[in-house]
Chain A
Amino acid sequence: MRFRRIWAMFTARNREFFRDRATFGWNFLFPFLLVVGFAIIFSGDSPQEFKVGLFSCPTQDPAAAAACVPPELAGIQQIQYIHFDHLEQGLERLKHHKIDLLLHKEGPPFRYWINETAPKGQTLELVLVGSLTDDGPRLLSRQEALNVRQVRYIDWLFPGIIGMNMMFSALYGVGFVVVRYRKNGVLKRLQATPLTPFEYLSAQMLSRLFVLAFSITVLWIGCHFIFDFTMEGSYFDLVIVFLLGSLSLIALGLIIAARGTSEEFANGVLNFITWPMMFLSEVWFSIEGAPDWVRGIAQIFPLTHLLRAVRQIVNDGARLADLGLEVAVLALLTLLFLATGAALFSWNK
């Protein structure tokens, strides 16, 4: 292995990225516009149906769940009930906008909590109280608002958009581009030199890592000034998690890049991977309450673990030591994807 050859490929790829002004600009503009758009449209709340958490209710079965709520509320179709074993679980989900209201069965009166920064929670409270035909206060008892810092929807959403941008940049910037290089003969030209596949793939990986680091930094600083995000955790921990997340996503891109000369096919495969990953990894909204198999599929995506770790650092102030599972999964996925991509790689097939 010659570092000089890796460096030559690293600088060549960086030049291409930074000189391609249209792609370069879009890489920053797109996520920024998304953040601005969502900040304006939802004003801090998410767009899904109402989700009500229940704890000390024995089942998620809708009929049984109905027995845990005031009878006047049981018929409201727009409410999805989600079961929690512990109050702390429910409060944590409420804080992170994964549910709109938390209800405790032991009553009447039924105790409930809302997140005061979430307009949907306040709306749901009005709906619930307004729908009671009996003496409302006898049936419902609002508890103290969460006594921790409230997480705005935009605070929760921003890491998702950063992560989504990383995903597209890593997968298309490596997977799609290398397939294009193979199709137009650039890889064949490189094959005619002493450059090894390992050196070439390392250079692609490092270059994309550099591009991601640069774009995340610019985006983070820009949005921080505009939206005044609160960072609860350590920036060092955040950098480590972003590094691992970037590597795992780039390594996934290397698998796409390993074979093939059809850009159309590569695009199809990338769509097949990115769209489910975007929705199931909770970029835009929580999948709390989704069927178990859906949440199981979400676990195979590196973006799921990346966003979970980033949100815990940014929103909750978690430390790396608290994120052992996510860090380990990201590291393992990186190694798995990298080994697969390197084993499958071909210069010309």
Chain B
Amino acid sequence: MKTTTAPILECRGIIQRYGRLTAVDDLSLAVPPGICFGLLGPNGAGKTTLIEILEDIIRPTAGEVFYLGKPRTSLFRQQIGIMFQQTALLAFMTVQETLATFHKLFDKAYDLEELIRLCHLDDIRKQLNDKISGGQRQRLLLALALINQPELLFLDEPSTGLDPQARRNLWDIVHQVRSQGKTIILTTHYMDEAQHLCDIVSIMDHGRIIATGSPQQLIARHTRGINITLPPDAAEAITSNAIFQVNRLADRVVLQVTDLNRAIQALLEASVDLTHMSVQSPTLETVFLNLTGRKLRE
């Protein structure tokens, strides 16, 4: 990926091996400042390993990481915020006490009241950490990641396990942070999350980046116009041709077409039952499907 501004974070030739498994395979990327950068990929693609290498939580088998063009120093920890995919909170502490504890660990920190307001924690500030809901817990973890007003924020699968409303609430906070000019690096396996939050997305599979660009660019570059979805038994006889690109999945068949009228005409001529047909615009999942032949959550 080429950018005109100097990257806030860059990695070169990252390799991470666990025994015979290569989790990250000679990967390089550069993240420009002030954007939300997404790493999209299925479980096991190497997203979390890569982001933990970028966070300086694990040391790679090979490769280098640069922050603002230089190797990372102890100051890196003062200037980044991390929301991990899985983490426990300090036991027998209230939300406010937890925030106050982490507040003391940094030289520069958010005003606690402001942070509590930003992350909508006011109602639960006196509750113990183990008595709050999943959505409240994710907001608290986000608040902990933001507590030092980081220039670079890492969010590893921030909305996994949340209901749609809680996810929307979390996205709103991320939008506010993004609007303050902070850089965000986010991993997710939710295509809608990546499309909604990210300026640039890299799609990962088997420890490698297989495509990078804005969601719109990726969709335009790697898909064909419109998706027609049919039940598997309704489209048994259809094969890829000039009109369709056929992707057969376990629970459905996705036809990518450029001319919807012509495609429907062809399906009717082939006596395909269109009762359960649905039509959608292509998404990042379609991009992933076209690039790998698999679904994001297969």
- Give chain A's interface residues, CB within 8 Å of chain B: 4-5, 7-9, 11-12, 15-16, 19-20, 181, 184-186, 188-195, 347-348
Residues of chain B whose beta carbon lies under 8 Å from any beta carbon of chain A: 55, 57-58, 74, 77-78, 80-82, 84, 86-93, 97, 101-102, 104-107, 144, 148
Given contacts A184-B88, A188-B87, A189-B84, A194 and B105 within 8 Å (CB-CB): yes
From DSSP, what is the main secondary structure of chain B's interface residues? loop
B104 in complex: contacting residue of A7, A19, A184, A190, CB < 8 Å: A7
Q: Which residues of A contact B91 (CB under 8 A)?
A: 16, 20
| Chain A residues positioned under 8 Å from B55 (CB to CB) | 192
B residues within 8 A CB of A185? 84, 86-88
The answer to whether B93 touches A16, judged by C-beta atoms less than 8 angstroms apart, is: yes
Instruction: Pick the most buried of A185, A186, A193: most chain B CB atoms within 10 A of its CB.
Output: A193
Contacts of A194 in B (CB 8 A): 74, 77-78, 105-107
CB proximity of A253 to chain B, nearest CB, Å: 18
Compute how far the CA of A4 lies from the CA of B55 in the bound complex, rounded to whole angstroms: 24
* Contact in complex: B92, A193 (CB < 8 Å): no
Distance in angstroms between the alpha carbons of A98 and B291 in the assembled complex: 80
Residues in B neighbouring A7, C-beta threshold 8 A? 104
Contacts of B107 in A (CB 8 A): 194
A interface SS class = helix
User: What residues of A have a CB within 8 angstroms of the CB of B77 in the complex?
Assistant: 192-194
Extra contacts, 10 of them, besides A184-B87, A185-B87, A195-B105 (Cβ < 8 A), are A8-B105, A11-B101, A185-B84, A185-B88, A186-B87, A186-B90, A189-B87, A190-B105, A192-B77, A194-B78
Residues of B within 8 A of A195 (CB): 105
B3 to chain A, nearest CB (A): 26
A191 nearest CB across to chain B (Å): 6
Most buried by B among A181, A185, A194: A194
- The residue on B at minimum CB distance from A177 is B91
Q: How far is the CA of A15 from the CA of B90 in the complex (A)?
A: 10
Nearest-Cβ distance from residue A3 to partner chain B, whole angstroms: 10
- Contact B88 A186, beta carbon cutoff 8 Å: yes
Q: Within 8 Å CB of A16, what residues of B?
A: 90-93
Once the chains are docked, how many angstroms separate the CA of A316 from the CA of B125? 55
Question: Smallest CB–CB gap between B246 and chain A, Å?
Answer: 43
Check if A186 sits within 8 Å of B89, measured CB to CB: yes
Give A348 Cβ to nearest chain B Cβ, in Å. 7
In chain A, what residue has the closest Cβ to B104? A8
Instruction: Find out whether the CB atom of A192 lies under 8 angstroms from the CB atom of B90.
Output: no
* A303 vs B105: C-alpha distance when bound (angstroms): 35
- Which residues in B have their C-beta under 8 angstroms from that of A348? 57-58
Complex Cα gap A190–B144 (Å): 11
| Closest Cβ–Cβ distance, residue A180 to chain B (whole Å) | 9
Looking at the assembled complex, report how far the CB atom of A169 sits from the nearest CB atom of chain B, in whole angstroms. Answer: 17
Check A4/B84 contact, CB under 8 A, given A16-B93, A191-B57, A194-B74.
no
